[in-house]
Amino acid sequence: MTPAAAPAVLLPDWPDLPSNVGALSTLRGGGVSRAPYDDGDGGGGLNLGVHVGDAPDAVAQNRAILRALLPAEPAWLTQVHGTAVLDAVDVHGAPAADASIASTPGSVCAIMTADCLPVLFCDAPGRVVGAAHAGWRGLAAGVLENTVAAMRATGAGEILAWLGPAIGPARFEVGEEVRQAFIAVDAEADAAFVPNIKAPGKHFADIYHLARLVLRRQGIERISGGGFCTVTERERFYSYRRDGITGRMASLIWLRS
């Protein structure tokens, strides 16, 4: 299967992104993966996950296609729905972590998702960037707070955030335990949950709203993005909740040299 000359990518609608910061999210098309990791329309898919059952050579080709758009190989992580944050320059061999930061130009922070929320960060002066994988467990446990703390420890100025493609609030059905995990920390989180009247004890959760609450508690007010739904936008995004066996997209950010 022959890939497109270059993959289609999503460039963040992020008006205050500094000019020396590069950022993008991949979409499901423009690669070589076959069904069920394809583009949803019979063409090659740009699956970047090595852990989802896709052919290893297809994933390698897809990562090479992506690499041509970047200043360096991304700092790939083994994501475990935790809160660990690494410096991208020190990442080798896909260590277990759910966020990375970078203050060295050319080091590429990368997060893979297929419904979970990817959050990209930079500071206003363009000195430090970061990327975090915020599924509900990591979000409730503090992955965004840890990423912000790591950036500030590296000398970040005012921090900005962009919320990338994730499951939308009309499709993210969760149990009462998820609601309790968030309202135990912040009572205002209750507004992010709408009871599912057809399924007692179930709620529809707005992960974008939950992330904004966390970020604002950290003093971050300049927040962009957050208008996607990976489940319903089948032509653009992989979705684990929708398809079960599926690929993974990447959200990436770096300082330009």
CATH number at residue 152: 3.60.140.10
Does 105 reside within a domain? yes
Answer whether residue 1 shows pLDDT above 50.
Answer: no
| Structural domain boundaries, residue 98 | 9-166+221-255
What single letter denotes the amino acid at residue 113? T
Does 236 reside within a domain? yes
Q: Is 164 helix (H, G, I), strand (E, B) or coil?
A: coil
Q: Could you give the number of structural domains in the chain?
A: 1
Does 92 reside within a domain? yes
Which whole number is the average pLDDT over 179-190?
96
Answer whether residue 151 shows pLDDT above 90.
Answer: yes
Which whole number is the average pLDDT over 146-167?
98
Mean pLDDT score across all residues of the chain: 96
Does 142 reside within a domain? yes
Which whole number is the average pLDDT over 152-163?
97
Write down the pLDDT at residue 8.
82
Residue 194 CA to residue 11 CA, distance in Å, equals: 31
- 2 pLDDT band, cuts 50/70/90, is very low
Write down the pLDDT at residue 7.
82
Where do the H-state alpha helices sit in 14-115? 56-67
Sheet of 202-205: strand order equals 173-175, 202-205, 193-195
Does 184 reside within a domain? no
Which of 134, 163, 157, 147 has the alpha carbon at shortest distance from 224?
Answer: 163
Q: What are the pLDDT digits (tens) for 193-203?
A: 999 999 999 99
Residue 152 CA to residue 158 CA, distance in Å, equals: 9
Write down the pLDDT at residue 4.
47
Tell me the two tokens of residue 245: 């066996």
Which residues are within 8 A (CB) of 204 and not within 5 positions of it... i.e. 6 or more apart?
169, 170, 171, 172, 173, 174, 193, 194, 196
Burial class (CB in 10 A: 0-12, 13-18, 19+), 198: exposed
Q: What are the pLDDT digits (tens) for 34-78?
A: 999 999 998 999 999 999 999 999 999 999 999 999 999 999 999
Q: What are the pLDDT digits (tens) for 78-135?
A: 999 999 999 999 999 999 999 999 999 999 999 999 999 999 999 999 999 999 999 9
Does 3 reside within a domain? no
- 174 pLDDT band, cuts 50/70/90, is very high
Does 140 reside within a domain? yes
Q: The whole model's pTM is what?
A: 0.95
Does 241 reside within a domain? yes
Tell me the two tokens of residue 90: 């020190």
